[in-house]
Amino acid sequence: MSSSGTSSHRRARRVVATFEHYADAERAVDLLADRNFPVQQVAIVGHDLRMVEQVVGKMGYGRAALSGAGSGALIGLLFGAIAWAVSWIEPLVAGLLLELYALVFGAIVGALLAMTFYAMQGGRRDFASVRMMLPTSYQVVADEEVADDAVRLLAGLSEG
């Protein structure tokens, strides 16, 4: 039994194409869809995952404050919009002023929190980065009963 939203038995699937880049696998599935293939019986599977952490710059109090202010401003705008929507009878100017105050308050709180968290790290992580999970290859797999049709439809893809 499976506790996820999928069926409780595994589907018999076969690899119908392998690609180095996700865009190529996506293009293959799109081609199948264009040819009225039952794409609900297809999946794109990434293999040999590796974690890549791209360093984007040096972190300091200024960068931490700026990053926190941006995040806080967005959250402030969201809360301001909700508060404005709840009191929609108020005039437009009051609503816009509420949005402005929420933006400024969110930016200040966000900047202070980000600088506090940066200070608590004690210099252990003085850089900003973005983490990604990248597969080395992508396989298009199809349910066994339709795999031969998928292979036939994709046969000319690498030539075109």
Report the half-sphere exposure of 73 (CA within 13 A, side-chain side): 10
pLDDT of the residue at 6:
47
Tell me if 144 sits within 8 A of 41, measured CB to CB: no
Tell me if 8 sits within 8 A of 138, measured CB to CB: no
Query: Residues 96-114: pLDDT tens digits?
Result: 888 899 999 999 999 999 9
pLDDT tier at 36, thresholds 50, 70, 90: very high
Residue closest to 154 by CA, chosen among 49, 48, 10, 14 = 14
CATH topology of domain 13-49+136-154: Alpha-Beta Plaits (3.30.70)
Kindly report, as residue ranges, where domains of CATH 3.30.70 are found in the chain.
13-49+136-154
Grouping H, G, I as helix, E, B as strand and the rest as coil, residue 56 is strand
Query: Residues 108-158: pLDDT tens digits?
Result: 999 999 999 999 988 788 888 899 998 999 999 999 999 999 999 998 775
